[in-house]
A = this chain, B = another copy of it.
Amino acid sequence: MKAEYFTDTFNKISGEKRQKILDVAIAEFSERGFESANVNSIAQKAGISVGSIYKYFENKENLFLTVIHFAVETLRDVLKEIMQSEDDLESRIEKIIRAIQSRTRDNVQLTKLYNEMTTENRSSLVWKIASEMENTTAGLYASFIKQAQEAGEVKDDVDPNAFAFFLDNLFLLLQFSYACEYYKERMKIYIREDIFDNDDLVVEQLMKFIRGAFFSK
């Protein structure tokens, strides 16, 4: 972790303690949002003093940015793992969808945080942190699509960048739909009440949707 939003002291404390602070802060920020999150409460729940929090982070905002930083790194790690497979585009896409289903359930708070951070306030600061991740995925998706194009799997008049964008939009909202209350309700309305017990249906239909988009003659 580069020391951009936290002090050197934070780097020196035990990994266990550091993780505890991050976990507590993630929970607080994702449940209550930036403004409502209470620094004193985070300190207490993390079992440290407020003073220490302010030894580790210059202010509440930097604590938030550190949390975002960490969240983004975690999300990107998940992605990298998936992307390393040597499969073809279609298989890769299916893997990603299944990963979104399983991993989002393990990282509900991180995903809520991701939605939270797209909100207006502080978006410029947050963007600096997130842009790296978005850049990575954008590049990856586009290059995969280009490869498929060169292999004749995808039509020539497809703009790889635009299609990468649409693809990630589908993934992003799927993530939110597995984590954020609002989007969960929305998905139940759109598909059906018990959709969260039907992961295969989602995979099957979304694959069909994407397959058509990419591989129709």
Contacts and interface: CB of A to CB of B under 8 A. Distances in A.
Interface centre among A157, A183, A205 (most CB of B within 10 A): A205
A51 to B, nearest CB: 12
A169 B174 contact: yes
Given A190-B168, A216-B212, A185 B131 contact: yes
A190 B123 CA distance: 18
Given A159-B201, A216-B217, A135 B189 contact: yes
Contacts of A48: none
Contact of A189 (B31, B32, B138, B157): B138
A164 interface: yes
A194 interface: no
Interface stretch (A16-24, A57-65, A81-89, A109-117): A109-117
A157 B212 CA distance: 12
User: Which one of A121, A131, A190 has the highest number of Cβ atoms from chain B below 10 Å of its Cβ?
Assistant: A190
A187 interface: yes
B127 A181 contact: yes
Interface in A132-189: 134-135, 138, 142, 157-159, 161-166, 168-170, 172-174, 176, 180-183, 185-187, 189
A135 B189 CA distance: 6
A210 interface: yes
28 contacts: A33-B34, A33-B35, A36-B121, A118-B183, A123-B180, A123-B181, A123-B182, A127-B182, A127-B185, A130-B182, A131-B185, A134-B185, A134-B186, A134-B190, A138-B189, A138-B190, A142-B190, A157-B208, A161-B191, A161-B192, A162-B190, A162-B201, A169-B169, A170-B170, A173-B173, A208-B213, A212-B216, A213-B216
Interface of A: 30-36, 112, 115-121, 123-124, 126-127, 130-131, 134-135, 138, 142, 157-159, 161-166, 168-170, 172-174, 176, 180-183, 185-187, 189-192, 201-202, 205-206, 208-217
